[in-house]
Amino acid sequence: MEISVRKGELASAPCDLLVVNAFFGMKDLQGATEGINQALDGDLARFMKEDHFKAKLGATFLMRTNGKIPAKRVLVVGLGKKEDVDLECVRQAAASSLNVAKELGVHSVVSVLHGAGAGERKAAECAQAMTEGARLAHYSFDTYRSSKKEKNEVVRFEIVSHQGQDVRQAIKGVELGELMARATTYARDLVNTPAQDMYPEKLVQAAQQIVKGKGTLRVRVFDRSALARMGAGGMLGVAKGSDHPPYLVHMVYKPKKATKKRVALVGKAVTFDSGGLSLKPADSMMTMKCDMAGAAAVLGAFSMIAQMAPACEVHGIFGAVENMPSGKAIRPGDVLTAMNKKTIEVLNTDAEGRLTLADTLTYACKQKPQAIIDLATLTGACMVALGEEITGIMSNNDDLAEKLSEASKTAGEKMWRLPLEKNYRKLLKSEVADMQNIGSRWGGALTAGLFLEEFVDKTPWAHLDIAGPSFAEREIDPYTRKGATGHGVRTLLSYLRTL
Ligand code: BES
Ligand code: ZN
Ligand code: ZN
């Protein structure tokens, strides 16, 4: 599918599907939609009324044009209440229209620039959101299907505006939206790939592939013996039960004229989480190929970072391991020594993410960044707290938490801050070691965050628990269907663009 922007009149645009929009509860059609209505002799408004079309966000109304205009069909997509329209509505409206186009099996779509008419919203941002929505709605993961569906594909998605100023801005927005969407779908592919084909070595290869031929990118890889020399007891401990060896991967993006800022992005990279000897029940294991979604988000961001070219230096770090039970696996009660020399009593081998992050966060601190952001599918407890669609932010730095929160809003990824309650630190006290890897029954997301805090010194740090939003067990919105979501990628890139 090619997404483009063109100056022109909607009413005279030849296409299979012409997309306009409407606000919820508005008596009369407005702007471009009213223009099309007039070209159709008022049929559009009449039929919409007859069918009680209310223009709820993402709702669609389809009609044939009977040759009155060059477009074969007109689709009205709801934007919701006018005063509530934001970029996320624009993203969803574009996604809904694309979903209808796919359902119809049409080739060419021409769309109005949703949201640009209203107030201060810039044409560039609207076009970016539309591109993200359309691209992500268009995504499917078919690698493992024997018969690739030979359905008619949407090959052309054209945004048409008669305002030259809007067109120039929208072209830039589409470019940025393309990068955001490509980074996101890259992460989705990594997460959707079954763990049989996505083991630690494959994540190493992904990183190597990304840096290849890019002057601003490089990568270092540490294998098992290097990890032993570095004292990465957390990673080595978790990896013991698996036939796949562990790797620590360190990517660096350094622009030609870098600002003084240096950020480290750290991802949990457990390519499959069986729970280890503290084995998960069958149902909980079904989606555990998603347990490397944190690293996938970091890799997704890095896959487009050279093109996006933020001004700061960025480090991407993950410790790839597989968590399996075997005669060689760590046992509940075993004590590991992490890279920063702290000892950890492993009371539950299913709380493995924090063991690997202990080492990768320690390693990240050694790069002396001004900020560390980690993304991890860390706890089921975070899903109990915030549900399937919202990420938990825990941070030792209000400014960083605030900036990430802002970036997540821009990106259309939902996040909410949770406290790092000092008084809960006692829950991680061990009888035999410096700390234990599980807290009490309650507040599991917070005790996991407090555990990680022990490994970042005083570096400004934010932990994103993405256990819920990284993998959709049902359809979330018009551009997020069942499976990997790529959640976190666009927040990271939006954040980096602000530095
Ligand atoms: N990878 C899981 C967390 C998870 C759960 C991610 C559901 C995505 C969906 C993590 O390693 C884990 O098993 N955590 C345990 C921690 C507990 C043993 C303290 C959990 O949440 O139950
Ligand atoms: Zn686990
Ligand atoms: Zn896990």
Specify whether 242 is located in the same domain as 369: yes
Is 319 a member of any domain?
Answer: yes
Specify whether 474 is located in the same domain as 379: yes
What is the 3-state secondary structure of 295-354? HHHHHHHHHHHHHHCCCCEEEEEEEEEEECCCCCCCCCCEEEECCCCCEEEECCCCCCHH
Instruction: Give SS3 for 93.
Output: helix
Domain boundary among 181, 201, 219: 181
Is 338 a member of any domain?
Answer: yes
pLDDT at 120 over 80: no
Q: Whole-angstrom Cα distance, residue 319 to residue 138?
A: 31
Cα dihedral 192, 363, 357, 383 in deg (nearest 10): -70
Instruction: Give SS3 for 12.
Output: helix
Which ligand places an atom closest to the C-alpha of 269?
Answer: 3
Q: 100: domain CATH number?
A: 3.40.220.10
According to the model, what pLDDT value does residue 117 have? Answer: 73
According to the model, what pLDDT value does residue 361 have? Answer: 98
Domain boundary among 140, 161, 181: 181
Q: Extract the tokens encoding 443.
A: 């507040």
Specify whether 416 is located in the same domain as 476: yes
Specify whether 8 is located in the same domain as 91: yes
pLDDT in tens, 334-391: 999 999 999 999 999 999 999 999 999 999 999 999 999 999 999 999 999 999 999 9
Q: How confident is the model at residue 220 (pLDDT cuts 50, 70, 90)?
A: very high
Domain boundary among 181, 207, 232: 181
Specify whether 218 is located in the same domain as 269: yes
179, 304 in Cβ contact below 8 A? yes
| Average pLDDT across the chain, whole number | 96
- Best mutation site among 379, 382, 424, 464 for ligand 1 pocket (most ligand atoms within 8 Å of CB): 379
Q: Whole-angstrom Cα distance, residue 114 to residue 123?
A: 9
Instruction: Give SS3 for 16.
Output: coil
According to the model, what pLDDT value does residue 118 have? Answer: 63
- Which of 347, 288, 343, 344 minimizes the C-alpha distance to 321? 288
Specify whether 44 is located in the same domain as 88: yes
Predicted TM-score (pTM) of the model is: 0.97
Q: How confident is the model at residue 149 (pLDDT cuts 50, 70, 90)?
A: low
Least confident of 153-157, 181-185, 384-388: 153-157
Q: How confident is the model at residue 153 (pLDDT cuts 50, 70, 90)?
A: confident
Rounded average pLDDT over 410-416: 97
352, 399 in Cβ contact below 8 A? no
| Ligand 1 atom with minimal separation from the 348 CA | 18
According to the model, what pLDDT value does residue 484 have? Answer: 98
Q: 293: domain CATH number?
A: 3.40.630.10
Q: Sheet containing 73-78: which strands, arranged edge to edge?
A: 2-7, 156-161, 108-111, 17-22, 73-78, 60-64
Rounded average pLDDT over 91-110: 97
Rounded average pLDDT over 419-447: 98
Least confident of 119-123, 273-277, 438-442: 119-123
pLDDT in tens, 441-466: 999 999 999 999 999 999 999 999 99
Number of domains, the chain: 2
Residue that is written with structure tokens 């934007």 in the block: 79
pLDDT at 28 over 90: no
Rounded average pLDDT over 454-483: 97
Specify whether 91 is located in the same domain as 206: no
According to the model, what pLDDT value does residue 257 have? Answer: 84
Q: Extract the tokens encoding 476.
A: 């979330």
Q: Does 354 qualify as catalytic in the annotation?
A: yes
**What are phi and psi for residue 379, nearest 5 degrees?**
-140, 140
Is 6 a member of any domain?
Answer: yes
Is 187 a member of any domain?
Answer: no
Specify whether 169 is located in the same domain as 256: no
Cβ < 6 A, ligand 1 pocket:
273, 291, 348, 350-353, 377-381, 438, 444, 467
According to the model, what pLDDT value does residue 22 have? Answer: 96
Is 85 a member of any domain?
Answer: yes
Q: Whole-angstrom Cα distance, residue 488 to residue 475?
A: 18
Write the residue with the smallest CA distance to atom 7 of ligand 1: 380
Q: How confident is the model at residue 260 (pLDDT cuts 50, 70, 90)?
A: confident
Is 186 a member of any domain?
Answer: no
The active-site residue out of 280, 417, 425, 497 is 280
444, containing H or E segment:
helix 444-453
Q: How far is the CA of 81 from the centre of ligand 2 (A)?
A: 42
pLDDT at 14 over 80: yes
Specify whether 106 is located in the same domain as 215: no
Specify whether 149 is located in the same domain as 231: no
Is 418 a member of any domain?
Answer: yes
Is 247 a member of any domain?
Answer: yes
Rounded average pLDDT over 318-334: 98
Specify whether 231 is located in the same domain as 364: yes
According to the model, what pLDDT value does residue 147 have? Answer: 80
Cβ neighbours for 124, distance < 8 A, ≥ 6 positions apart? 169, 170, 172, 173, 176
Amino acid letter for position 47: F
C-alpha count within 13 angstroms, C-beta hemisphere, residue 271: 25
- Can you give the residue range of the structural domain that contains 115? 2-181
Q: Does 280 qualify as catalytic in the annotation?
A: yes
246, 224 in Cβ contact below 8 A? yes
Q: How many CB atoms lie within 10 A of CB 353?
A: 30
pLDDT in tens, 275-300: 999 999 999 999 999 999 999 999 99
Specify whether 439 is located in the same domain as 326: yes
